[in-house]
Chain A
Amino acid sequence: MNSRAQILSRIKENQPELSSLPADLTAPLQYPDPVEVFSTVLSNIGGTTVPVKSYEEIQQYIKTQFADQKRIISTIPELSAVTEAGWEGQDPHSYEDIDIAVIRAHFGVAENAALWVTEELMQQRVIPFICQQLAVVVQRKDICSNMHEAYAKVADAVYGFGTFIAGPSKTADIEQSLVLGAHGPKNMTVFILEMAKD
C-alpha cells in the first residue's frame, strides 16, 4: 500500500463520528465609519492613509512626496504619466531595484487594515513584496468592516494568487523591538479614493 492509501485508510479508521459544520457567526462587529477605523488601524501598524479625490491628486502626491525616488512603477493606467513605462513582463528578479510600486486593491478591511490584492492587480506576484515602498489605491466605498464581509466579497473568485496586505513588512524578532522593513516594503501608503462624481 502506498503512503497515500495508507494515510487515507488510517484516517478513515480513526476519524470520529461526523460532527457537522457550525452555522456562520452572526452579527460580527460592524463599524459606523469603517474608513476611520481603517486609517487608525493602519497607522497603528506603521502605514499611512492619504484621502484623495482623483487620480490627478495621486499623481501630484507621487510627484511631490516621492520626488527623490528613482524607480517608480505602477499597474494603474491612470498613473502612467508619473510612473515608468514598459516595466511589465520582465524576469521577477529584475524588479529588485524598484523604489515604489503603486497598485490597486479590490477592497480594504477596517478591523485589521488589510487590503485584498490578486495577481492581475500586481502584474507580477513579487511586485508588492520586492519594492522598497508600497502604495495602494482603494476606493473609499470598498472598505468593509470585518473579515467575514471580506470573504463574502472574495466569494468564489478565481485567482492564481491573492493576498491580504496589512501595512509594511515587519519583524520584532530581536528582543521584541518592532522594526519596519524586514524583507519587503519599509512603509506603506494607502490612497483612499473618493471620486467627486461618486
Chain B
Amino acid sequence: MSTGTKDHAGLADIFNEDEARVDWHDETLWFVRAKRDKAAHTLPEWEALRENASKIKDNVLSNLHDYLLQFEAKAQQNGITVHWAADAKEHNEIVTSILKAQSVTRIVKSKSMLTEECHLNEHLQQNGIEVIDTDLGERIVQLAEEPPSHIVLPCIHKKKEEIGELFHEHLGTPQGESDPQFLTAAARVHLREKFLTRKAAITGVNFAIAETGEFVVCTNEGNADMGAHLADVHIACMGIEKIIPKRKHLAVFLRLLARSATGQPITTYSSHFNKPRAGQEMHLVLVDNGRTKQLGRADFRNSLKCIRCGACMNTCPVYRRSGGHSYHTAIAGPIGSILAPNLDMKEYADLPFASTLCGSCTNVCPVKINIHEQLYKWRQVIVKEGYADKKKAVAMKAMEFTLSHPFVYKNAGKAGRWVIKHAPFMVNNNLNLWYKQREMPEPPKQSFSEWYKKNNNE
C-alpha cells in the first residue's frame, strides 16, 4: 500500500516519535552486528565459507526439482508424511486438517517465519485451535497482539518495562517487575505447562537434506525440541527453498548461521529430525507460496538463497532507525523488501525504496545475496509497472523531463535558487520529504555554468 496509510515512511514516522527508543534500537542492533563481525573474524576461511554457501545454494536453485523429489522419497522412507502446499491458504488448510484429524484444539509452535508469512495463527484461531508461540520473544509479541519485528529477535522493539507490564497482566508477575532474569524464569514456568499439556507441536525448518530426508531445526531456547519430543504429532513447515543437497553441507551452513545472526559460534541446539519417535506422527509441509515465481525472475531468484539469519537487518541503517513493523510484512528489513514485492508488488511497492542502497546488507549476507542491487532493480520494475508512490512517480517523471531538456535544466536551477531564496515556504514544507528533520541548504548565488561563463569571459 504505497499510497495508502500503511507505507514504510508513514510507519517509520510512528516508530520515530519516541527518539530514545529509536536510539536504543539502533545501538542494540549495531551491537549485534558488531558481535557478528567479531565471530566472523575468528575464522580465517569466513569469505571462503560464504562463497561456498552461495555456490551450494546456486546448485540447489538450479536443481530444486530433483532435490525435492529425492528429499520427499527419503523422508517418506523415514516415516515422515510429506505434504505440498501451493500457497499460504493451502498450507494453513493442511495444518488444520492434520490437527482436526487428531481432535487437537491446543498446540505449541516454535519459531517459523513461514507460518508468519502464511498467517497460520489467525487461521488456526478461526478454526477453534489455540496456538501458543513458545519462543520467548514470540510469546511476548503474541501477548502484546503484535507481529514479530525481527526474524531472529522478535521483540527487539520492546523495552523490558513493557514486557514486565505484559507479564503482570497475563502471567501474574508482580507489578513493576522488569528484571529480564525474573521475567524469563516466569515465562519458563508458564511455557513448561504448555509443553507438558499440548498434544501437537509445530516447528519451522532451517535446513532439509535431500540426501537423507532429514530436517534440521536450530534454536537457542530448546523450545522446538521441548514441543516436538513431548507431542504426539509434530508438524514441520518449510519453504521449498530450504533444501540443501547433502548432510555434509550442514557444516558450511551451521558455521555461518549463528555467527551471522547473533555472533554465537552455533545455536545451542541444532536438531536433526530423521524419523518420528515410536508412536509419534511426523508431518512435513513443503510450501511454494510464490517461491516458484521468484525462481523464474532471473534478477531476484538469488533472494531464495536466504537462510534467515537477520544480519542484513542488524546492519541496515534504515531498519535500525525505522523498526521492523514499518515494513508491514512478516520478514522485515532488506531481505524482506526483496521477497515481499514478489508476493504482492502493489502492496509492497514502498519497500524497495526503504533503503539507502549503501550495500552493507550485501556485504554481511552469509550466502552472498546481492540484496542492494535487487532493491535497486525492484524500484525500476515497480515504477515501470506503475506501482510507485505517486509523489515519487511525479518527481521522477519531472526529473526525467528536466534532465533530457538542457534549456529546462538551466532554467530549473535558476528557478530553484529563486524559490529557496524568495519563497522558502515552497520547499520548507511537509510535501518535500527532504525537508523532514533537515533545514534546506542556503541556495548558491549562481550555477556552475553561470560562474564558468563569467570567469572565462566567454
Which residues of A are in contact with B by a Cβ distance under 8 Å?
Answer: 2-4, 6-8, 10-22, 24-25, 27-29, 41, 45, 92-93, 96, 111-114, 119, 124-126, 129-130, 146-148, 150-152, 154, 156, 158-177, 179, 181-185
Is the CB–CB distance between B271 and A154 below 8 Å? Answer: no
- The yes or no answer to B159 lying at the interface (CB within 8 A) is yes
Q: Is the CB of B136 within 8 A of A22?
A: no
- Chain B residues proximal to chain A, CB less than 8 Å: 28, 31-32, 43-45, 48-49, 51-52, 55-56, 58-59, 61-65, 68-69, 84-86, 90, 134-137, 140, 153-156, 159-160, 163, 180-181, 183-185, 187-188, 191-192, 195-196, 212, 220-223, 225-226, 228-230, 240, 245, 247-248, 250-252, 254-255, 258, 262, 264-277, 286, 288, 292-293, 295-296, 298, 301
Closest chain-A Cβ to B78's Cβ sits at a distance in Å of 8
Q: In the bound complex, do residue A146 and residue B255 qualify as a contact, i.e. CB atoms below 8 Å apart? A: yes
In the complex, what residue of chain A is closest to B161 when comparing beta carbons?
A175
Closest CB of chain A to B225's CB: distance in Å? 4
Q: Which residues of A contact B222 (CB under 8 A)?
A: 129, 169, 182-185
Q: Give the shortest distance, in Å, between A11 (CB) and chain B (any CB).
A: 5
User: Given A21-B56, A161-B274, A183-B134: A8 and B229 within 8 A (CB)?
Assistant: no
What does DSSP make chain A's interface, helix, strand, loop or mixed?
A: loop
> Nearest Cβ distance between residue B432 and chain A, in whole angstroms?
37
**Which of A3, A29, A96 has a CB less than 8 Å from the CB of B45?**
A29
* Smallest beta-carbon distance A47→chain B, Å: 10
10 intermolecular pairs with C-beta atoms under 8 Å apart: A112-B264, A125-B229, A159-B274, A161-B271, A161-B277, A162-B274, A171-B137, A171-B221, A179-B185, A183-B221
Instruction: Flag if A6 contacts B251 (CB, 8 Å).
Output: no
B58 is contacted by which of A19, A27, A166, A173 (Cβ under 8 Å)? A19
- Closest-by-CB residue of A relative to B46 is A29
Contact B248 A175 (CB under 8 A): no
Most buried by A among B51, B136, B276: B136
Q: Find out whether the CB atom of A174 lies under 8 angstroms from the CB atom of B183.
A: yes
Contact at A147–B45, with CB atoms within 8 Å? no
Contact A162 B272 (CB under 8 A): yes
User: Does the CB pair B188–A11 fall under 8 Å?
Assistant: no
The verdict on A19 contacting B49 (CB below 8 Å), with A41-B265, A183-B192 known, is no
Given A29-B44, A174-B184, A183-B221, is A20 in contact with B59 using a C-beta cutoff of 8 Å?
A: yes
**Most-contacted residue by chain A among B85, B137, B163, B252 (CB, 10 A):** B252
Given A15-B295, A166-B265, A167-B268, residue A174 in contact with residue B229 (CB < 8 A): no
Q: Are B196 and A182 in contact (CB under 8 A)?
A: no
Residues on B with beta carbons closer than 8 Å to the beta carbon of A156: 212, 247
Q: Quick one: given A7-B240, A21-B59, are A45 and B265 in contact (CB under 8 Å)? A: yes
